[in-house]
């Protein structure tokens, strides 16, 4: 079973005694920087020349400096730029400013796990990752609550890296909810697998296939959209609140029976075998290499897939239908 840590296990004064640089001010960066500041921590934000988020960070009362200066000033450097550019940011603006005993922190283990970033031996290397989007992390913190975090130590130069990670997690509200100890390898591999096989890849392919089967059989796209995409939220909300049991308690007996007998015909042994292949490619680094090559080539296939799905009948139908649902479309950009 996982090891869990709470407020009583963390010593906030550790991070309060350090100088923290938060590199990046996006979803996670803004939540970390603001909450650490409100927890009495000395924070500066490091951003690139011409950054879009600079003005926002300054408006919110934070000091913004270049990435190199932030890394130079700080002794805890949290890298929260997009993953594919972290290695470049690290090489160009962080590496040369690491001093003996500094701590290099991440919100995701990708670059360290696959060796795109190789920190020197004389720094602590740790991970603090909230299990939720940054805006929720910040809102929970402000409400006196927190989003559960996971924390891991890759390199414990000082012997205090985990205590520092827990202290950092306390500074963003994580220990109010609970912090689970993991490793860079476990965090990275399960995160990639989850998003590919289940959450993003698995779910969107399932929705699309169901929608295609109905529309190809002549049913109206609008009806197919409701059945295969829109209603998924209601189901997922129930699972989120009470697992499969609550979902099955809430749906009709007919739906529950169909769940038992049809689910295994859709997600078959062959699907599970393919999932195992996906996991193997994550573990052996094939996925990471392919993704970084695609990114460096300027995202040709990524853009092709994106465009194809934007033009899919599922998406064009959804766009029209969501305009009729003010409570949904209000949330749209």
Binding flag, residue 133, ligand NDP (CB under 6 A): yes
Residue 65's alpha-carbon distances to 46, 48, 70, 107, 183, in angstroms, are: 5, 9, 6, 20, 31
Binding site partner of 72, from Mg ion, ligand NDP, none, Cβ cut-off 5-8 A by kind: none
For 224, which DSSP code? H
Binding site partner of 82, from Mg ion, ligand NDP, none, Cβ cut-off 5-8 A by kind: ligand NDP
Q: Which of 30, 32, 97, 108 is catalytic?
A: 108
For residue 77, list its beta bridge partners.
21, 104
Binding flag, residue 27, ligand NDP (CB under 6 A): yes
Known binding site for Mg(2+): residues? 191, 195, 227, 231
- Specify the residue, 28 or 140, whose C-beta has the smaller distance to ligand NDP: 28
Binding flag, residue 78, ligand NDP (CB under 6 A): no
The stretch near ligand NDP (CB under 6 A) out of 128-136, 166-174, 232-240, 306-314 is 128-136
Binding flag, residue 85, ligand NDP (CB under 6 A): yes
- Specify the residue, 154 or 247, whose C-beta has the smaller distance to ligand NDP: 154
Applying CB under 6 A, among 20, 21, 36, 47 the residue interacting with ligand NDP is: 47
The stretch near ligand NDP (CB under 6 A) out of 11-19, 47-55, 117-125, 281-289 is 47-55
Instruction: Give Cβ neighbours of residue 316 (< 8 Å, ≥ 6 apart).
Output: none
Residue 177's alpha-carbon distances to 150, 171, 269, 319, in angstroms, are: 11, 12, 37, 37
Q: Which two tokens stand for residue 30?
A: 């803004």
Strand order across the beta sheet in which 42-46 lies? 4-5, 179-182, 149-155, 124-130, 103-106, 76-79, 19-23, 42-46, 64-65
Nearest residue to 278 (alpha-carbon basis) of 206, 202, 185? 202
Binding site partner of 133, from ligand NDP, Mg ion, none, Cβ cut-off 5-8 A by kind: ligand NDP
Residue nearest to ligand NDP (CB): 26
- Specify the residue, 130 or 148, whose C-beta has the smaller distance to ligand NDP: 130
Size, binding site for Mg ion by CB under 5 A: 2
Applying CB under 5 A, among 110, 170, 191, 248 the residue interacting with Mg ion is: 191
The stretch near Mg ion (CB under 5 A) out of 148-156, 168-176, 184-192, 294-302 is 184-192
Q: Is 108 known to be catalytic?
A: yes
Per DSSP, the residues of 36-82 read HHHTT-EEEEE--TT-TTHHHHHHTT--EE-HHHHHHH-SEEEE-S-
d(CA 148, CA 177) in angstroms, rounded, equals 5
Known binding site: residues? 25-28, 51, 53, 134, 191, 195, 227, 231, 252
d(CA 108, CA 292) in angstroms, rounded, equals 16
Catalytic residue positions, numbered: 108
Interface residues with ligand NDP (CB under 6 A)? 23-29, 47-48, 51-53, 67, 80-83, 85, 89, 107-108, 129-130, 133-134
Interface residues with Mg ion (CB under 5 A)? 191, 195
């Amino acid at each position: 079973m996982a090891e869990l840590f709470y407020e009583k296990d963390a010593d906030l004064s550790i991070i309060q005694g350090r100088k923290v640089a938060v590199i990046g001010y996006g979803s996670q960066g803004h939540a970390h920087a603001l909450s650490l500041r409100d927890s009495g921590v000395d924070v500066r934000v490091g951003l690139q020349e011409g950054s879009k988020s600079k003005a926002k960070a300054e408006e919110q009362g934070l000091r913004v400096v270049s990435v190199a200066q932030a890394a130079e000033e700080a002794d805890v450097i949290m890298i929260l730029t997009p993953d594919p550019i972290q290695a470049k940011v690290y090489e160009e603006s962080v590496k040369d400013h690491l001093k003996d005993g500094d701590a290099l922190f991440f919100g995701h283990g990708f670059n360290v796990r696959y060796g795109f970033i190789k920190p020197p031996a004389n720094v602590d290397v740790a991970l603090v990752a909230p299990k939720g989007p940054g805006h929720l992390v910040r809102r929970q913190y402000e409400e006196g609550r927190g989003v559960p975090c996971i924390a891991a130590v890759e390199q414990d130069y000082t012997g205090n890296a985990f205590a520092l990670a827990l202290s950092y997690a306390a500074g963003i509200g994580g220990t109010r909810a609970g912090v689970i100890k993991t490793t860079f390898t476990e965090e990275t591999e399960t995160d990639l697998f989850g998003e590919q096989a289940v959450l993003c890849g698995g779910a969107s392919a399932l929705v699309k296939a169901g929608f295609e089967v109905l529309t190809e059989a002549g049913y109206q796209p609008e009806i197919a959209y409701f059945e295969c995409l829109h209603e998924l939220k209601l189901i997922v909300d129930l699972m989120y609140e009470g697992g499969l049991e609550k979902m099955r308690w809430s749906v009709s007996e007919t739906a529950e029976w169909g769940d038992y007998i049809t689910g295994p015909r859709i997600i078959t042994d062959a699907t599970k075998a393919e999932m195992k292949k996906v996991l193997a490619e994550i573990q052996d680094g094939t996925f990471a290499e392919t993704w970084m090559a695609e990114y460096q080539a300027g995202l040709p296939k990524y853009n092709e897939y994106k465009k194809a799905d934007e033009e899919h009948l599922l998406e064009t139908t959804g766009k029209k239908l969501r305009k009729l649902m003010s409570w949904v479309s209000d949330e749209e950009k």
